[in-house]
Structure 1
């Protein structure tokens, strides 16, 4: 008897401001249907939010901004993929920007620049690799389907836990709980 393939879902979105909210809604819908733990769904929604925001914002950096109509016509697409592999939810976001993500250490009062830091801190492991046969890159992160208990091994977001599973896997910087707390409060306000 053959085993069923792991659950997988993809969503292609235009890199417009409403894309981030649509990506979060899609994530909630898909993971709820798959029976993921509510805490894991919330964590993955946060990761999707940060990765989708980067996909919307950063490929347009350096491009001369014109009228809103010109920006609309210049809209590109990006793709979010969700899958469950070996007890972990893997979120992957493909965008057209080939530059790898950079973890930044920003001050507590900064209003931006912590997206990749949040991804690194909240995921079990994460990384990026060049997109195959398309422009850009894929940034991925993993979260347990059922949250791990905190202990000597740590849980999701423990920067010491790294696995083998992707090119350019990255290690998270030390976690500042004050920064994470402020970011979570801000995300809940969205």
Structure 2
């Protein structure tokens, strides 16, 4: 008796401004049907949002025409969702051959945080070039584990020394390693919308 192959789904969209929204909706619908935990869906949806935004916003060299113009040629990208090895894998192909750059944008920067966000929220991520007779460009991918990460212990009972904050107060302050990546992502997406 053979086992069924792991779930896989793909969606091709035109690089129009509403494509990111459709990609997020498709992701939520697909992962819900696969019974993926809600927290994982939320994280994957945010990664899809960042990767598809990059696919839509980064036109080919020299192309500066509105996607709604009659002078515009139709460009597409492909979103692939897969489950395997205890993780959800998101892959986005676009025809831009330029590799994504992980950068540390300044506090006042209004963009440039997408790949940083993907790296923070995924267990692994990467990219590879695509050059074959059917298509060229690149694929950017990220994986999110299906098992929920252990919740950090926020409160501890301990005696404190006079003049120092108690362990309860110290542990209530988030450290960098305890910041919830999905919360960080929602904040950054909200800032981007301003």
Question: TM-score, normalized by length of structure 1?
Answer: 0.78
- Inter-CA distance 34–179: structure 2 relative to 1 (3 Å threshold): closer
1:82 counterpart = 2:81: yes
Question: Secondary structure of the equivalent of 1:69?
Answer: coil
**2:77 and 2:29 mapped to 1: Cα distance?**
19
Cα distance between partner residues in 2 of 1:67 and 1:35: 35
Instruction: Tell me the alpha carbon deviations over residues 80-117 of structure 1, each in whole angstroms, 9 at most, x when there is no partner.
Output: 00000111000000000111100011122211111011
List alignment gaps of at least 5 residues for structure 1: 152-173
Alpha-carbon distance change, 122 to 178 in structure 1, aligned in 2, over 3 angstroms = closer
Where do 5+ consecutive residues of structure 2 fail to align?
153-175
Q: Report if aligned partners of 1:90, 1:141 keep a CA contact under 8 Å in 2.
A: yes
| Distance in 2, Cα, partners of 1:115 & 1:180 | 13
Count of aligned pairs? 167
Aligned in 2, Cα 1:130/1:175: closer, same or farther, shift over 3 Å?
A: farther
- Structure 1 runs (4+) greater than 3 angstroms displaced: 64-68, 174-183
Cα distance 1:65–1:90, how it changes in 2: closer, same or farther (>3 A)? same
For 2:118, the equivalent position in structure 1 comes to 119
Deviations 1:145-190 (A, max 9, x none): 2322157xxxxxxxxxxxxxxxxxxxxxx98959985642243586
How far apart are the structure 2 equivalents of 1:95 and 1:124? 22
C-alpha root-mean-square deviation of aligned residues, in Å? 2.7
* TM-score normalised over the length of structure 2: 0.76
Contact 1:121 1:175 in 2 (8 A): no
Q: Is 1:23 matched with 2:20?
A: no
Q: Tell me how far apart the structure 2 counterparts of residues 179 and 25 of structure 1 sit (CA, whole Å).
A: 20
